[in-house]
Structure 1
Amino acid sequence: MQKVFVLDTCVLLHDPKAIFNFDDNEVIVPYAVLEELENKKRLLDEVGRSAREAIRLFDQLRQNGQLAEGVSLPDGGTFRIELNHYSENPLPLYSDIKLPDNRILAVALNLGREDERPVIVVTKDIAMRVKADALSVKTQDYYNDKISLTSLNDDVIKLELKDSEVNGLYQIGHISLIEPKLPNSCAKGLLSDGTVIPLIVSCDGTKLIKLHSRNKDHWGIVPKNIEQTWALGILSNPQIKLVNLMGPAGTGKTLITLASALEQTIHQDLYTRILCARPVIPFGKDIGFLPGEKEDKVRPYMQPIYDNLEFLLRPKQDKLRDKDSEALVESTVDLLKKRKQLEIEVLTYIRGRSIANQFIIIDEAQNLTAHEIKTIITRAGEGTKIVLCGDPDQIDHPYLDKESNGLAYVASRLKGQSFYGQVGLLKGERSELAARAAQLL
């Protein structure tokens, strides 16, 4: 039976083309949603872009007929703009019909009384779904962008190695595979005595390459576990242009990425600049507008990156006083910026750029939508490497979750590509306290 889907505003702001993803059913956008899109269209961020794109799409559909009467969609469904049924207010007593959410629910309630087909409200707003359920209106999340991610351990290849294969790994650094594997996959070579050798599949999927777990050619950083060994192996491979590092807080994602970036940019001269960026989403209550120039405004949001830079740039034999050491680190960061070897930016300013020969680090990438991730990756010019760091279980974006964020989207779409590699970091290495707290709290 054909269904009627009533879309909330947040669905169109999340995916402006959402109306095409409901097969041969009828898709209805209440007039209240149009008004909300109108209010959002002047914003200069991703929300404003989505609002403008949705409105332009509706304008194009007007060529197929009157939107109030319904127009055909490519998959056999129909699309219609619906008024708000003011003739009868079906909401509970004292409900404010002026609120957009209540007007959308009123549309759904009245449609349900008039139509024999199931009427379903589609929204990414949890509170809206609760209100709809309280009114006995069928409701659901927007599932088209949901990704089913496998466990981070499930993608690891486990192989029992013969003595001849072990000799080959230690003599020439790799062995050939009889059956090709997914390119850049992480692998464990299991020896008869229980020893585990960290391996990685080559970019063409035909070889197993041995990684050196005690290699110090990463700005002096030595991996503390096998996952970090895989990560540093992928980060240091110039053939892998896009890297996805996923894992809980404290597993070392940002630290080892910055270490590899400094090594390859400053020491090896493989890249001209390190570009660090993260989405501006505050944790907890926002403190409002920040004073100062752009650098001063950006600094609080970028402080986690500065903390890791301070750790990496601090003299290894640190006999200086804390204040002298901090001043030395600050001067080193300023020097790298003046030499154009380091840039720390918010993602707001990355749109429209073409970035060549740079090592780009996107921190907290789990707070980005699939479209935002695509926008970032398509900025990459020749010779650029992009690293996405994030934890799909730690999302601050109001309309994203573990199955619908940009990090998961990239992992599901690009796994197996020769230019892409991903590693799941599991063990917290920040401190014993942080690791135990993450496990128990």
Structure 2
Amino acid sequence: MSATKLYILDTNVLLHDPKCLYEFKEQDVAIPMTVLEELDDIKDRKKNVAQEARYAIKAIDDILSTATSPSQITKGVQIPLPGKGREERLGKLSIFPDHELTARPGFLTSNKKDNLIINCALHLQSTTTHREVILVTKDINMRLKALGAGLEQVEDYRTDQLVSDIDLLPAGHTHLDGTFWEKVDQVKSIQKDGHTYHHVDKSLIPEAYISEYIFDDTKDFAARVVAINDNEIILLDLGYEHLMQQSCWGISPINIFQAFAMQSVLDPNIDLAILNGAAGSGKTLIALASALEMVIEDKRYNKIIVTRSTPPVAEDIGFLPGTEEEKMTPWMSAINDNLEAMHENDERPLSSVKYTIEKANIQFKSLNFIRGRSIQDAVVIIDEAQNLTPSQLKTILTRSGKGTKMICLGNLAQIDSNYLTPLTSGLTYIVERFKGFDGAANVHFEGIFRSRLAEYAEENL
């Protein structure tokens, strides 16, 4: 059966998911030469997507290595099912020599790489009459330009979406109307290691999942789901007032959502705390205050490593003066701002901040530092995680060694990447993938405490 569709891939699709070549089923895939040039340009430079570029190039090479001649690469090479024998096949992969195209009416005139890829799609649309030609790109503006130039079909790459609507993303907590204990007919409570666990009927909270926080209207009951079996749910009793009375480095939670977040970071049984929510909701402050408490006061960890997605740090960091720490300083102003806020009432605030950074051994690292390392006995704060792809976040999380706590911070409303959306962000990906893992907790922050102006702007702009 011959393919009825020809998908033309933009560079950002291959960077977003280097395995995307295997996701188009029996349909054919074409990669313009311009895309290969972009991948080649990225792979050897200190960009935070350099490794993805190398993965994509290797995936292309694995498929095209079976070609017996250059003409076969242009016509198309069968894509084998990954992990299967060569006799089972998907569509065909080809490289289109778009550098040979000459300007003609309808083509975009600029030599920008996006325009060259669009021109390639326009050419194939006009010359390939027996198949639908579809340009696939994560770049919203490129999709608009392609449609405006006359391309009939342009799509986003959404194969890796785990949820169809961002509103369906788990919040990490559930509010129960009324009083929780009035709904309970039977309960078995057990004391263990200084904690109270309640075994209740599963029908009370049928949609509950592991590590979800539960609270009611009484401002008395609050718990976290620690186990679920066929008939019952086991809840770790946290106590509403106890949660609200937590204090780390002089910072106490303002609302129950910040309290849940602080508990998840401080809990030694939670290896990954995912804190997401609007700007000004307190994510960075809670994470940093808790990290300082665990490193300096409790001495549970030896250092704090702070990293973040820094577009366009890929290009800029190499040209900034100084050491890696000094180069990362402009990107870490949010951490410094929060440190200054914590010490604003000190007699010498700047000296206090400097002392805290040294005492807690706070290290600002680029994503390139994280790759290939095994991080031991550290708290790792991943700021602006919404700008990371699923592949990039996987790379960071798999660096976690013995005795390391990972904290992911992000706001899905503030994505800077031109090929990520709230539905395909790595932050969304890990929230959904780690749902139900007892070593991870996700807390969506509600409420904005930065200022009246910030709250109004978040809600109305």
For the aligned pair, the TM-score class normalised by the smaller chain equals 0.7 to 0.9
Relative to structure 1, the CA distance from residue 222 to residue 151 in structure 2 (aligned partners, 3 Å threshold; closer, same or farther) is farther
Q: Secondary structure at the match of 1:46?
A: coil
Deviation track 1:296-332 (CA, whole Å, cap 9, x = no partner) reads 32222112112212333456xx4x3xxx332233233
- Matched residues in 1 for 2:182 and 2:119: separation? 72
Query: In 2, are the aligned partners of 1:184 and 1:234 still within 8 Å (CA)?
Result: no
Matches within 5 A, 1:253-292: 253-281=283-311, 289-292=319-322
- Matched residues in 2 for 1:264 and 1:105: separation? 52
Structure 2: 5+ residue runs without aligned partners?
Answer: 82-88
Matches within 5 A, 1:404-415: 404-415=424-435
| Stretch moving more, 113-122 or 366-375 | 113-122
Paired AA for residue 325 in structure 1: P
Relative to structure 1, the CA distance from residue 91 to residue 242 in structure 2 (aligned partners, 3 Å threshold; closer, same or farther) is farther
Which residue in the other structure is 2:453 paired with? 433
Matches within 5 A, 1:2-401: 2-65=4-67, 66-73=72-79, 74=81, 76-84=90-98, 86=100, 89-92=103-106, 95-96=108-109, 98-113=111-126, 114-137=128-151, 138-148=153-163, 149-151=166-168, 156-159=173-176, 160-162=179-181, 173-179=196-202, 181-191=208-218, 195=219, 197-202=221-226, 206-211=234-239, 212-281=242-311, 289-313=319-343, 318=346, 320=347, 324-337=348-361, 342-401=362-421
- Matched residues in 2 for 1:222 and 1:423: separation? 16
- Matched residues in 1 for 2:120 and 2:183: separation? 71
| Stretch moving more, 380-389 or 111-120 | 111-120
| Stretch moving more, 58-67 or 78-87 | 78-87
Q: Secondary structure at the match of 1:245?
A: strand
| Stretch moving more, 26-35 or 357-366 | 26-35
State the shift of 1:99 in Å: 4.4
State the shift of 1:357 in Å: 1.7
Paired AA for residue 209 in structure 2: L
- Matched residues in 2 for 1:100 and 1:297: separation? 29
- Matched residues in 1 for 2:200 and 2:13: separation? 46
State the shift of 1:88 in Å: 6.8
Paired AA for residue 188 in structure 1: F
State the shift of 1:50 in Å: 2.5
| Stretch moving more, 42-51 or 152-161 | 152-161
- Matched residues in 1 for 2:327 and 2:134: separation? 43
Q: Secondary structure at the match of 1:72?
A: strand
Deviation track 1:241-277 (CA, whole Å, cap 9, x = no partner) reads 1111000111110111111111222222222222222
Deviation track 1:115-171 (CA, whole Å, cap 9, x = no partner) reads 322111111222321222123311111112334233567653344423596999999
- Matched residues in 1 for 2:330 and 2:102: separation? 51
Deviation track 1:23-82 (CA, whole Å, cap 9, x = no partner) reads 111111122322332333321323332332222222222333232221212252111112
- Matched residues in 1 for 2:457 and 2:121: separation? 45
- Matched residues in 2 for 1:87 and 1:245: separation? 49
- Count residues with an aligned counterpart: 425
- Matched residues in 2 for 1:201 and 1:50: separation? 36
Query: In 1, are the aligned partners of 2:391 and 2:426 still within 8 Å (CA)?
Result: yes
Deviation track 1:166-210 (CA, whole Å, cap 9, x = no partner) reads 99999974422222841110212345xxx5633221256522422
Relative to structure 1, the CA distance from residue 97 to residue 428 in structure 2 (aligned partners, 3 Å threshold; closer, same or farther) is closer
Q: Secondary structure at the match of 2:365?
A: strand
- Matched residues in 2 for 1:257 and 1:103: separation? 45
Deviation track 1:277-304 (CA, whole Å, cap 9, x = no partner) reads 2222369xx8994433433322221121
| Stretch moving more, 411-420 or 326-335 | 326-335
Relative to structure 1, the CA distance from residue 219 to residue 177 in structure 2 (aligned partners, 3 Å threshold; closer, same or farther) is farther
Paired AA for residue 426 in structure 1: E
Query: In 2, are the aligned partners of 1:356 and 1:382 still within 8 Å (CA)?
Result: yes
State the shift of 1:379 in Å: 0.6
Query: In 2, are the aligned partners of 1:314 and 1:329 still within 8 Å (CA)?
Result: no
Paired AA for residue 39 in structure 1: D
Structure 1: 5+ residue runs without aligned partners?
Answer: none
Query: In 2, are the aligned partners of 1:368 and 1:407 still within 8 Å (CA)?
Result: yes
Query: In 2, are the aligned partners of 1:85 and 1:106 still within 8 Å (CA)?
Result: no
Relative to structure 1, the CA distance from residue 239 to residue 335 in structure 2 (aligned partners, 3 Å threshold; closer, same or farther) is closer
Relative to structure 1, the CA distance from residue 51 to residue 288 in structure 2 (aligned partners, 3 Å threshold; closer, same or farther) is closer
State the shift of 1:4 in Å: 1.0
Query: In 2, are the aligned partners of 1:362 and 1:387 still within 8 Å (CA)?
Result: yes
- Matched residues in 2 for 1:287 and 1:208: separation? 45
- Matched residues in 2 for 1:169 and 1:282: separation? 53
- Matched residues in 2 for 1:135 and 1:357: separation? 54
Paired AA for residue 245 in structure 2: N
CA RMSD of superposed structures (Å)? 3.0
Relative to structure 1, the CA distance from residue 103 to residue 439 in structure 2 (aligned partners, 3 Å threshold; closer, same or farther) is closer
Q: Secondary structure at the match of 2:306?
A: strand
- Matched residues in 2 for 1:281 and 1:101: separation? 19
Paired AA for residue 424 in structure 1: H
